[in-house]
Amino acid sequence: MNWKISAFAPKEAVQAALVAHEDAWDWNPEVVLSGCEIAEDKPDDWVLEAWYPHKPTATDKAAVKALFAEGAPELTVEKLPDADWVALSQEGVEPIRAGRFHVRTPEFPASTEPGVTDFIVPASQAFGTGQHATTAGCLAMLTAMKARGVEVRNLADIGTGTGLLAFAGLELWPRALATASDIDPVCAGVVEDNCELNQISMGARRGELTMVIADGMADPLLAARGPYDLLIANILAGPLVELAPDFARAVVPGGHMLLAGLLTTQEGAVRRACRLAGFRLAARMVNGDWSILWLRKRAGVNVRAARPGRMPDWSRRW
């Protein structure tokens, strides 16, 4: 990504633009979009950034402006030096402590706190180092689920990125079957490397991790290894809504689902889709502007057959 468009606007406007982006069916999948606050002491001042592999055209600029309902801000276009911007954005980040987990890059020392599991996740081509509020929130929610007596024998991490949430699941339930999937082929090598760093065995047996490149739930291996009593999906609100029926078919009655990647303003739509698919809310957590949802599938729910879910490219999220 050698070019970037920036649009500075109030928090509400940028969040609304992110939602509009998810609904833009014709959005170029090569263009990565993100939004965040400018500084910790300015929580209401945000910037929307669009990353391009080419110099943005007039059409590209118009597409960004169209994401803002009214009063589109001025756009700043800049050329960036050749670099792996995902990796650079993650270098030197401080370790995080979420639930019973300490997540760090190799530059930092391991935690010596009793009862805390240390994971190493280098800056890489995949997202999910634990720094984002959604990933950290999932780590905290998984810890809470374990503390409340949830037992897991078969888990799936959909949109795994670096593999971190699957690693956490195996740490909490070490005898579980574990499957991780992502739509981005880059993630296969990233997860393999991270398994080696964290001494996690890859394989198809209990306590090992199976990795698959899959488009949503439409994959024979994901189907063959199910049904699951824990399904984790830290992706985007749009795919969560679209895939709710597919998730329901993949989770056992009484099973658990952990969803993240949705803004608090998008929570209602995600919860409605999950309720229609047969899930009820067990607990929710808010981390900054993001919602983390723990849901349970009701017993005796029949989900109508539908086409296998194909989701947009959410692989470059975090």
**pLDDT value at residue 2:** 78
Q: Give CA 98 to chain center in angstroms.
A: 16
Which residue in 257, 266, 272, 269 sits closest to 286, CA to CA?
266
Amino acid letter, residue 113: E
Q: Say how far apart CA 154 and CA 204 lie, in whole Å.
A: 11
Q: State the chain's mean pLDDT as an integer.
A: 85
Is the confidence at residue 145, as pLDDT, over 50? yes
| Three-state DSSP class for residue 162 | coil
Is the confidence at residue 284, as pLDDT, over 60? yes
Confidence of residue 279 (pLDDT cuts 50, 70, 90): very high
Q: Say how far apart CA 166 and CA 181 lie, in whole Å.
A: 10
**pLDDT value at residue 309:** 39
Is the confidence at residue 98, as pLDDT, over 80? yes
Which residue in 35, 36, 46 sits closest to 10, CA to CA?
46
Is the confidence at residue 226, as pLDDT, over 60? yes
**Domain coordinates in residue numbering, the chain:** 3-82, 89-297
- Edge-to-edge, what's the strand order for the sheet holding 117-120? 96-98, 101-104, 117-120
Please give the class, per CATH, of domain 3-82: alpha beta
**pLDDT value at residue 30:** 74
Confidence of residue 93 (pLDDT cuts 50, 70, 90): low
Is the confidence at residue 217, as pLDDT, over 70? yes
166-206 pLDDT, tens digit per residue, is 999 999 999 999 999 998 888 899 999 999 999 999 999 99
Q: What letters, b where the CB count within 10 A reaches 16 and e where it falls short, cover 203-240?
A: eeeeeebbbbebebbebeebeebbebbbbbbbbbbbbb
Number of Cβ within a 10 Å radius of residue 23: 10
Average pLDDT over residues 98-114: 87
Average pLDDT over residues 123-145: 75
Hey, do 3-82 and 89-297 end up sharing a CATH topology, with the first three levels equal? no
Of the two residues 17 and 201, the one the predictor is more confident about is 201
Structure tokens given for 174: 């070490």
**pLDDT value at residue 131:** 53
Average pLDDT over residues 109-114: 87
Is the confidence at residue 9, as pLDDT, over 80? yes
Q: Say how far apart CA 238 and CA 287 lie, in whole Å.
A: 19
Confidence of residue 300 (pLDDT cuts 50, 70, 90): low
End-to-end CA, the chain: 15
36-81 pLDDT, tens digit per residue, is 888 777 888 899 888 888 899 999 999 999 999 877 888 999 887 6
Burial-class residue 137 by CB neighbours within 10 Å (0-12, 13-18, 19+): buried
Amino acid letter, residue 12: E
Average pLDDT over residues 201-214: 96
- Is domain 89-297 in CATH 3.20.20.140, yes or no? no
Give percent above pLDDT 70 in the chain. Answer: 86
Q: Give CA 124 to chain center in angstroms.
A: 15
Structure tokens given for 36: 């965040």
Is the confidence at residue 254, as pLDDT, over 90? yes
Is the confidence at residue 142, as pLDDT, over 70? yes
Is the confidence at residue 127, as pLDDT, over 70? no
Average pLDDT over residues 206-217: 95
Is the confidence at residue 35, as pLDDT, over 50? yes
